[in-house]
Amino acid sequence: MKIRLRQLRAFVELAKTQSFTQAAQNLFITQSALSSLIKQMELNLGLQLFDRSTRNVKLSDVGQDLYPYIDQILIDLSNVLDEAANLKALKKGTVRIAAPQLLACTILPECIAEFQQSYPDIHVQLIDCGVEQVETKVLSNEVDLGISPERDHHADIETTLLFESAFCVVSPKNSSFDHSQPITWQCLENQPLILLQGQFTKRLSGDLDSTEFGPEFHLRPTAQVNFMSTALSMVNSGLGFTICLPYARSLVDVYGLTMQELRPAVYRRFYTYERQGRTLAPAVEQFKQHLMQALSALH
């Protein structure tokens, strides 16, 4: 059984107007074309939908039973097309993004605010979490996009380079360091260091093996914490120094601390994560492009 959209529209219009002449005009077709559509629909269904006389045309009892369903089909289709048009025109949509806590509380809120100035009807949901959770949330479709520093990732994750940035040392303003110039890693060798637990310190130590200091240089943290905010608070209390990336400068400033470049430069790359083979919705794709443009200047 083949029922075409044109037949459904012809059926509803004729039922409303009860006139072949008026219905044909409303549909911008000829009366003979309208009559053909109705006859073909009746033939396909095996039902007579209209009672016709020389004076008028009206729905048969069967036609009256079917009318609410057919009318609702056309309403639902119109809603679908309107929804699709809004999504395509970025007049509607939701973006769900997972990011490590430090990124989520420093540079991402400003990026989101700028995006929503241009696209006020798109809702951006930011989920702050641990670095290790970003991949899980992308794979489970809990979020559309993730942001993560370079990590070994699942085969179903597709990554795009977002930015790379060099590590800095954070110290109190009254520290003995010369704040007017970069600090060498070697200067930190005998200093009390407060570093993040897990992959952060492990990967940083591995990166330092490839510098001029070689494997003989080791980071020996006196304390390891889960969150950079804790490390910064400890630095502010005079308990030592910490190492972080420039995107955290706004938080460093809140604590009244000093951030200086470390030499030789050791870089950390950050990537967007998305589920491989999953087409991004227009709103998500637009936000991803905005994010890449906004963060490309980070170094």
Q: Per-domain residue ranges for the chain?
A: 5-77, 89-156+269-296, 168-265
pLDDT given at position 211: 59
Query: How confident is the prediction along the chain (299 residues), in pLDDT tens digits per residue?
Result: 688 999 999 999 999 999 999 999 999 999 999 999 999 999 999 999 999 887 789 999 999 999 999 999 998 888 888 788 777 767 778 999 999 999 999 999 999 999 999 999 999 999 999 888 999 999 999 999 999 998 888 899 999 999 999 999 999 988 777 767 778 888 888 889 999 888 887 788 777 776 565 555 677 889 999 889 999 999 999 999 999 999 999 999 999 999 999 988 888 999 999 999 888 899 999 999 999 998 877 65
| Sign of the alpha-carbon torsion through 243, 244, 246, 250 | negative
Record: fold of 89-156+269-296: D-Maltodextrin-Binding Protein; domain 2 (3.40.190)
Closest CA to 35 of 64, 13, 55, 60: 13
SS (H, E, C) the chain: CCCCHHHHHHHHHHHHHCCHHHHHHHHCCCHHHHHHHHHHHHHHHCCCCEEECCCCEEECHHHHHHHHHHHHHHHHHHHHHHHHHHHHCCCCEEEEEEEEHHHHCCCHHHHHHHHHHHCCCEEEEEEEECHHHHHHHHHCCCCCEEEEECCCCCCCEEEEEEEEEECEEEEECCCCCCCCCCEEHHHHCCCCEEEECCHHHHHHHHHHHCCCCHHHCCCCEEEEECCHHHHHHHHHCCCCEEEECHHHHHHHHHCCEEEEEEECCCEEEEEEEEECCCCCCHHHHHHHHHHHHHHCCCC
CB atoms within 10 A of CB 146: 29
Closest CA to 250 of 268, 229, 234: 229
End-to-end CA distance of the chain: 63
pLDDT given at position 225: 93
pLDDT given at position 215: 52
Structure tokens at 54: 């020389």
pLDDT given at position 185: 86
Helix 5-17 to helix 61-88 angle, to the nearest 10 degrees? 120
**Checking DSSP bridges between strand 50-52 and strand 57-59, what pairing results, if any?**
antiparallel
pTM recorded for the entire structure: 0.72
CATH of domain 5-77: 1.10.10.10
Closest CA to 11 of 76, 26, 53, 77: 26
CB atoms within 10 A of CB 99: 27
Helix 61-88 to helix 282-295 angle, to the nearest 10 degrees? 10
Are 89-156+269-296 and 168-265 the same fold in CATH? yes
pLDDT given at position 263: 87
168-265 architecture in CATH? 3-Layer(aba) Sandwich (3.40)
